[in-house]
Amino acid sequence: MKATIPRLRGGLTPLIAVLVVLALFPVIGVPRIWLLYLFIFCIYLAMANMWNLLAGYSGLISLCPAAFIGLAGYTMTIMTWLGLPYYAGIISGAIAAALFAGLISIPVFRLKGIYFAIGTLVVPEILRLVFLLWQPVGDVRYGGGAGYSVKGVTVVSPSAEYWMALAIAIVSIFLMRYILRSKLGTGLAAIRDNNSTAASSGINVFNLKLLSFVISAFVTGLAGAIYYVYTGYIEPMSAFGIKWLIYIMLATVIGGEGTEEGPIVGTIIVVFLYFTLARYAEVSLLIQGVILVGIMLLAPQGIMGTLRKTRGYRSLLQLATRR
């Protein structure tokens, strides 16, 4: 069944107005802490949207977003050490993540279900060990497992970092809307519902999964590289750490896997938890993991998935879309 695009009464005007206001925040002098909150929100939203594309719409429970984030961050950092500007490094990092996704798809796509999830879970761990042992070529041996600073980003203003994060979040939202209303989205939905039936109907299952996997890796890599422009430093333990997977899964599952609005709602909650639990750094991931398991057990369809079942939400949706 072809998905329909909800049309707001005011068309795109309300959305454009919101985006313009968000883009003007640094100009009108909002508190810097607000920009930090929104920066983290935009980065996590872009990543959650891409994970939702795989898990919610393609049926691929990929547990390796940290591999794309860390690889993109390291590529961007290396590019700056080679004298390239940071923005060229960001693009290079995203391309490296996409190419790596295409490379690992050859073995991991042979796995199904839980075996696919486990196969992707070990990928960030392998990269973490590689970069812990990795040293630059040359007489001077520095960095390695201790990490590297990103050169040339001290001149990047908080406003520029915020605008980059906002841009990638907007791109992820509109990219999702485009994909889900294209032939690619229809094919992915068929694969998610029944892989064998989709294949017997003439859908090239491998190519569609590969395309969604590479797109997800590219955008996730972009977001990850932008994040490390902000931090100005990267090291393997955090770059390839499981925290990325927890944050992304938490945002998607809480908001509602397989819904367009879900990652937005879920990311708001995750960012709130991120800063609220900062004082409990030792156990913050454990607390968030418990919340994730609880949501999966009590409301497996998430907030938006549960709301969509209510009569009030359906009536409001019909009113907003004139259906």
Q: pLDDT of 206-247, one tens digit each?
A: 889 999 999 999 999 999 999 999 999 999 999 999 999 989
Residue with tokens 């709301």: 307
Sign of CA dihedral 268, 308, 54, 169: negative
> What is the total residue count of the chain?
323
Fold observed for domain 29-241: ABC transporter involved in vitamin B12 uptake, BtuC (1.10.3470)
For the chain, give percent helix, strand, coil, nearest 5.
75, 0, 25
CA 79 to chain centre: 22
Distance between CA atoms of residues 98 and 270, nearest Å: 26
pLDDT one-digit tens code per residue, 156-202:
899 999 999 999 999 999 999 899 888 888 888 888 877 777 777 88
**Cβ atoms 319, 6 nearer than 8 A:** no
- Give the CA dihedral 58, 59, 60, 66, nearest 10 degrees: 80
Percentage of residues of the chain with pLDDT beyond 90: 51
C-beta of residue 201 within 8 angstroms of C-beta of residue 190 = yes
Measuring CA to CA, how many Å separate 205 from each of 58, 235, 269? 10, 36, 34
- What's the mean pLDDT in 319-323? 46
Mean pLDDT, the chain, as a whole number? 85
